[in-house]
Structure 1
């Protein structure tokens, strides 16, 4: 668990549900909750909030024990539009409250007013925490010039192959929890010989090695999978620890490799 800067707790390891739809999305969340996940990360843009809410209710797990994140769609940014978008996300999720609401992308024309809307929603007690996604250091510096609330989370693309060490240190210094989407690089580096050597050493899969690396850095990884075996595999990372030498080795895997657009192109 991570204690966020407003005092609430968030599980460090979660399930991302990007590119999952209808019954597939619902089933993946049910499997994840049965496996032990308690953090589910969705977004208006993913068009599966209804199914995520269905799964949470069908799980039989108390709502207070599940942490739900969603995000404002780019097309809904702006002050009044964001207020309406939040209402719509809550309607679709059909839950008493949302744990974390994020600005999905830092769009130049609207990110300030969008953040102000999030502050309003938070001040009214309608969401437990607010944060941002895809915010590199210049975005966070800019945000600090007009925000009254420090974001609790910054969700970005982050992996051993995109090791954003400066951003990690910045967020740690500001008490912002860094969260990693596509932490497994969409499977595109699983045959890396360096990674396979560590996999063999620790008798863990390449995916488990990557997720463990993130967790030991204090980063919150939210791997996406709709496959039961992989959902279980990705959660089975709490029974081992990598030594400092191997962590340093993995830090050196960095090649600035992205599978998603670079947010700095929006600055």
Structure 2
């Protein structure tokens, strides 16, 4: 299994628990996990985690919540860390109008800036968008193509948005623990997304799947989301595992990363 979106640097994990997770990734069936950056601190922490464990890779970038902190120095640090062979994507970047922790105009400017930088660095993009689909699609349209790939983290858009992103950008779509919840309304999206564009994630320590909802999430729990994906699509667990693992390796270039 590959967990395409984790935050193992998060303070919800004590150091002992974090080390236990790293030590047991193989036992828990994980071939790789991608630690997603949010700010300077998490970006640097992701690089350190990748040094500690061969199965951990990391992304570089600024989350929309932290767009207000993005400046030339931040960008230089992205460029520096992106030289690390275990830096596999730009993300998570995008727009978040649900919390508006950074001004919307600032979010849009930083999003555009990072999309351009990702192209220059030859990195695929991991996209976070919440309650901001119109502006997200407008900016993607303005920025043009994404030759190294585009991934919708924790996808929660509509079938129409999935169609647009698939046709215009050949995007990948990752689904997390929310698909195991009783009130989840996006099963048809999980069922119909292209087989070669389907990914699975935890977003740990957040969005813990059933039957552990309410507890701190961890990469091992990606199994429960993958089981749900298999059930929704009417395929064997082993097939869902093969599909998502191959897609993750292709998108993030894991076979090339050290």
Greater displacement, 45-54 / 162-171? 45-54
Superposed counterparts of 1:51-62, under 5 Å = 51-60=45-54
Change in 2 beyond 3 A, CA 1:165/1:94: same
Unmatched tracts of structure 1, length 5 or more: 1-10, 193-208, 245-267
Question: 2:114 aligns to what SS in structure 1?
Answer: helix
- For 1:165 and 1:38, the matched residues in 2 are separated by 29
TM-score when normalising by structure 1: 0.54
- For 2:72 and 2:135, the matched residues in 1 are separated by 22
Q: Offset at 1:119? A: 4.3
CA deviation map 1:200-223 (0-9, x unaligned): xxxxxxxxx99x858766332211
2:225 is the alignment partner of 1:230: no
- For 1:100 and 1:147, the matched residues in 2 are separated by 17
Unmatched tracts of structure 2, length 5 or more: 97-102, 205-216, 236-258
Question: 1:105 aligns to what SS in structure 2?
Answer: strand
Question: 2:95 aligns to what SS in structure 1?
Answer: coil
Q: Offset at 1:173? A: 0.7
Superposed counterparts of 1:36-185, under 5 Å = 36-45=30-39, 48-60=42-54, 67-74=57-64, 76-77=66-67, 81-88=70-77, 95-96=84-85, 98-102=87-91, 103-106=93-96, 108-125=104-121, 128-134=123-129, 137-150=133-146, 152-158=149-155, 164-180=158-174, 183-185=176-178
Q: Offset at 1:229? A: 5.1
Change in 2 beyond 3 A, CA 1:166/1:32: farther
TM-score when normalising by structure 2: 0.56
CA deviation map 1:227-260 (0-9, x unaligned): 475355556789988439xxxxxxxxxxxxxxxx
Question: 1:179 aligns to what SS in structure 2?
Answer: strand
CA RMSD of aligned residues (A): 4.7
Change in 2 beyond 3 A, CA 1:186/1:166: closer
CA deviation map 1:185-205 (0-9, x unaligned): 286439x9xxxxxxxxxxxxx
- For 1:49 and 1:39, the matched residues in 2 are separated by 15
